[in-house]
Amino acid sequence: MAIILLMLGNGFFVSFTSLRLHDLAYEEWIIGIVNSAYYLGMLTGAAQAEKIINRVGHIRAYAAYAGIGTAGLMAQGMFVHPLAWVFLRGINGFCIAVYYVVVESWFLSTATASTRGAILSIYMASLYLSQSASQFILNFINLDSAEPFMVTALLGALSAVPITLTKLPSPHLDESSGHSLKTLFKKSPFGFSGCLISGLILSSIYSFAPLYAASNNYSVAGIMSVCILGGVTLQWPMGKLSDILDRRKVLFGVTAATMLQSLFIICFDPVDLWVYISIYILGGLIFTLYPLSITEVCDRLQPNDITKATGMLLLAYGFGAVLGPLLTPISVDFAPSYGLFLFILLNTLVLMGIGIRSFISRDPVPEDLQGDFVPLPRVSAVAYELDPRNES
């Protein structure tokens, strides 16, 4: 319940942040910096959360950062200025990361070897569906008032109630360690690059897709919701396909399809129902890139190395997520009407090039030695210990 309330409040607020700055006539590069600060806060929070929680406990950590996050949101409503928002969005991102680690570690403490996969699937479905549904809050509040800040702060504060009133004992977190990024890149340049580039693309979607929708008179809630919903529904069939075929071929196919879908939107400028169908397909493909990439790397590791490695791959994704909002404005300035999709197209072309080189220089993992595809979250590495492939 805590994660649902958290996503209902935070999911739409990411879209609102870009819309509010755009309505105040700030340029795209400023919007990009503010959103990048949020992802930098999440990246930093994910790295520090385990130390904080082990020092003060899960309940105190969640309660404390729920208070800090609520205060930050209220302050953001009081000081509507990019410089203030850079700092406050960074604080909010840090708090969100702590929330995730607390909730995910409790999931982990109740899981057994036979239930890890089911718990992870329910968690991922709750996460994405709540995030998708939250976008429609944009249609019911006055975006030019203090309402968005109050609604997000309210839901964030309420999310602390199930955590602070739980009867379950607080689990202990072992501080994670991992492979070096260089080692993982050598193991699978294609998979590693996919993690990095998926961060670049997804953060650009969250930051600039609302502006694309608003500028073209589409429903912001509709565009963002179908994009996320596509990620919910297409991850599993594409993932299962990758369990049957050479996973690199499926990853390359998804990358190429993402490029072609972006090119379709650029060239044909779909309207009415077709734009929502196009964004749904694009979202499904984009959200699939990260779990496919991380699974491609895991196929080349020993089972007891998977959890450590996925934590480092999450770091690669986080670096990409920080850079995405900073680089996307270059494409948007070049082509205001389709710059977001041009940015996605260029990134997928780079990833396709790395994939082609992988086919030429590396042998595939035998299909009978491939691990199962598992959709994974993109905020903290704690939930990765729920990965059924992990044998440690």
Residue ending a domain, among 164, 190, 223, is 164
Residue ending a domain, among 134, 164, 194, is 164
Same domain, 138 and 202: no
- pLDDT (tens digit, 9 = 90+) per residue, 108-122? 666 565 665 666 677
- Give the pLDDT confidence score for residue 178 in this predicted structure: 54
Higher pLDDT, 156 or 89: 89
- Give the pLDDT confidence score for residue 380 in this predicted structure: 61
Same domain, 123 and 202: no
Q: pTM for the whole thing?
A: 0.89
Same domain, 51 and 158: yes
Same domain, 214 and 322: yes
Same domain, 208 and 293: yes
- Give the pLDDT confidence score for residue 316 in this predicted structure: 87
One-letter-per-residue 3-state SS of the chain: CHHHHHHHHHHHHHHHHHHHHHHCCCCHHHHHHHHHHHHHHHHHHHHHHHHHHHHHCHHHHHHHHHHHHHHHHHHHHHCCCHHHHHHHHHHHHHHHHHHHHHHHHHHHHHCCCCCHHHHHHHHHHHHHHHHHHHHHHHHCCCCCCCHHHHHHHHHHHHCHHHHHCCCCCCCCCCCCCCCCHHHHHHHCHHHHHHHHHHHHHHHHHHHHHHHHHHHCCCCHHHHHHHHHHHHHHHHHHHHHHHHHCCHHHHHHHHHHHHHHHHHHHHHHCCCCHHHHHHHHHHHHHHHHHHHHHHHHHHCCCCHHHHHHHHHHHHHHHHHHHHHHHHHHHHHHHHCCCCHHHHHHHHHHHHHHHHHHHHHHHCCCCCHHHCCCCCCCCCCCCHHHHHCCCCCC
- Give the pLDDT confidence score for residue 382 in this predicted structure: 60
CATH number of the domain enclosing 122:
1.20.1250.20
Same domain, 156 and 269: no
Residue 362 domain-assigned (yes or no): yes
**Which structural domain, as residue segments, surrounds residue 307?**
181-386
Residue ending a domain, among 164, 199, 222, is 164
- pLDDT (tens digit, 9 = 90+) per residue, 302-322? 666 666 677 777 888 899 999
Same domain, 22 and 115: yes
Structurally, how many domains does the chain consist of? 2
How would residue 66 be classed by pLDDT, with cut points 50, 70 and 90?
A: confident
Same domain, 107 and 198: no
